[in-house]
Chain A
Amino acid sequence: MATKDRTYKCLNPIGIQDPVDLYPLAPRLDRLNGKTIMFNMMVNVEQDFLTSLEKMLRSDYPEVEWIFRESGPPIPDKQFKAADALIQGVAF
């Protein structure tokens, strides 16, 4: 058989992907009033954006208890338990 007609087994260069268990999204909040929302944002992003966002969230949603924290260090268990929801910033 000519080389060009011979068939070859050709191997796979792709890495091995571990299976991942997929979770549905958590149920949404039934209301905002009285809820505690954590705002977790890298403080090194644009300061005018962050400062404005924090100010507006506090003034537009006074019924919410806000926890503003710097992203990076692990969230302490006490803060995690207190929070009903999370706003996470990853843009930078």
Chain B
Amino acid sequence: MPFAERFEKAGKPSVVIVFEDQDECLKQGALLLGIPHVRTVYCSRILSGVEDAAQTIKPLMDALVRPLTAEEQKGGRWEVPDKRVLFEGTLDEAEEFYERAERVPVLGNAWMSLYTDGMAIRIPTEERVQAMLKGTSHKPDEVITLQTDHTPREMGVGGKKGTPVRFEPMKRTATVEKVAVNGVMAGCKPEYMPVLLAIAEAGGGGGDGRGSLGFCVSGPIAKEIGMNFDVGMLGPGNQANRSIGRAAELMWINLGGNIPKVTSCGIMGNPLFNCFPENIDALPPGWKGVNEEYDFGRDESVVYVLGMRGGPPGSLTFSSTEFSPGRYRTLQKSSTGGIAKRLGVEGIPGPHNWLEYQVPSLWAGREGGYNFIILPEMAQHLYEAGFKSKDEVYQWLYDSSFMPFSEYRKHASPDFRTGGWRGVEKTSGKPWKELPDDYMVPAVDDPYQNCIIVSGGGEETSHWVNGRTPNADPAYGIDVWR
């Protein structure tokens, strides 16, 4: 879109090819660039390439020569007033006001809430917001900015310290008070404010509209505010886990302006609701916390952002193993059963590297690393199986991801850029086309695309979701927001 902006503003006509179902999102993006009338032509999700090209060409060329309508010749200025007090009335009236919804034509006329996630909220009265602001030393009118330099995450916020955070998808800014307003609406307590502000610094609950984010709290504040580290930490019942996660989503809706298919082009949405904590006290000896992986101290708290949008954007949540009932324990206690057979350790006393059981499924249909949530007991087993640091696990995962080029070539995404294996393979430095079929290729670009979060409790399972970008910086300090 910036290319079309450059042409149009220079007095040269443009036309944009887009899918019909993404047209509304494109128009919103065009509005933000100052070219709201940009002409579009639809391509097809189902026609063959030849048929699609044939039906696209004439409308494309017509869009470049057809004279402008009166509407298309209009300029002007788009302004959205920012009122601090949005509503004045009784609590009953306020509930009715904040819980209003409107029909969205491009969503099949479905109702979408104007200010909420679709559920009832706690009304953000001035008094309640003031009470929430007691959870931070930062002034209410302070604009949310990056507190340290941040390498941009993929499609996420980044920049130098002091850069105002632009909340996607509408690239709005926000103040500390507005974060507190969303926190009140979500049911948060004042002591959660530093976490909420760190999540806001990370861009709120979602990126550029292609899906929402997950948040993990690493560091002592998780215990201070009473987060649940144990059974059900991704489920209902704990106010901190649930309401902080909810506040993040409200930030995406209210601070960012996310409306599915109107301002964002996701797919299914992301069912991960809770913010969850890392159980730093349960790490095996020598294993770093997520905070330490990003050069914070173990006594410092951070929010770690999980990109839940990878793969099929906007539709990811955790995958998990089927280890229960008792199959995992059978492996570790008696070295028998199906897992022991696959690992080739029948009768050999453990603990065993149970991650090996998962390897065939990890890269059967995709590439890249993973964020794993690993139970303390299972992390301890990895430690006893020989992994004295997380780094050793990350390296092992990387090494385990190698597969023959003949197999790798059958994957959907590796040749994303050229569409014809015209690039260069990273480990050999040779053109893909010169590699023999049996050349071993890693499905993971870098060991540090993987990340382990030790937390949770109960029956032995492992959870994972798409991994991280090694050189990006998805950890945001919480203590600076106290």
Report A's interface with B, CB cutoff 8 A: 3-32, 37, 40-41, 43-44, 46-53, 55-57, 60-61, 71, 75, 80, 83-91
Contacts and interface: CB of A to CB of B under 8 A. Distances in A.
Interface string B24-67: 00100001111111110001000011101110110011001111
A71 B3 contact: yes
Contact of A47 (B14, B49, B65): B49
B68 A28 contact: yes
B73 A25 contact: yes
B64 A10 contact: no
B436 interface: no
B13 A28 contact: yes
B72 interface: yes
Contact of A85 (B13, B37, B418): B13
Interface residues of B, number: 96
A15 B257 contact: yes
Contact of B80 (A9, A11, A17, A30): A17
B3 A49 contact: no
Given A19-B80, A26-B7, A87-B60, 13 more contacts: A4-B90, A4-B91, A8-B123, A8-B125, A10-B87, A10-B123, A18-B171, A49-B53, A52-B52, A52-B54, A86-B13, A88-B14, A88-B17
B88 A7 contact: yes
Contact of A15 (B54, B74, B76, B178): B178
A21 B77 contact: yes
B181 A12 contact: yes
B52 A49 contact: yes
Nearest to B255: A15
Nearest to B165: A15
A88 to B, nearest CB: 5
A49 B13 contact: no
Nearest to A14: B254
A23 B13 CA distance: 12
A65 to B, nearest CB: 14
6 contacts: A15-B172, A25-B72, A52-B50, A57-B57, A88-B16, A91-B19
B15 interface: yes
Given A85-B14, A87-B17, A25 B57 contact: no
A61 B57 CA distance: 10
Interface of B: 1, 3-4, 6-19, 22, 26, 31-39, 43, 48-50, 52-54, 56-57, 60-61, 64-68, 72-80, 82-92, 94, 97-98, 115, 123-127, 129, 167, 170-175, 177-178, 181-182, 185, 250, 254-257, 416-420
B125 to A, nearest CB: 4
A20 B417 contact: no
Contacts of B115: 13-14
Contacts of B185: 13
A28 B172 CA distance: 32
A43 B8 contact: no
A12 B86 contact: yes
Across the A-B interface, give the 8 residue pairs with the lowest CB-CB distance, nearest first: A48-B49, A15-B172, A52-B53, A15-B255, A49-B49, A12-B86, A13-B254, A17-B80
A5 B52 CA distance: 62
Contacts of A26: 7-14
Contact of B175 (A5, A10, A16, A25): A16
A60 B57 contact: yes
B75 A24 contact: yes
A12 B37 contact: no
A16 B179 CA distance: 12
A3 B49 CA distance: 65
A23 B48 contact: no
B3 A88 contact: yes
B19 A53 contact: no
B6 A11 contact: no
A13 B84 CA distance: 9
B82 A17 contact: yes
A85 B37 CA distance: 16
Given A4-B91, A31-B65, A25 B38 contact: yes
B34 A21 contact: yes
A18 to B, nearest CB: 7
Given A6-B90, A43-B418, A90 B16 contact: yes
Contact of A22 (B26, B36, B82, B84): B36
A7 B419 contact: no
Most chain-B Cβ atoms within 10 A of its Cβ — which of A5, A50, A51, A53?
A53
B207 to A, nearest CB: 15
Contacts of A60: 57
B73 A91 contact: no
A91 B90 contact: no
A26 to B, nearest CB: 5
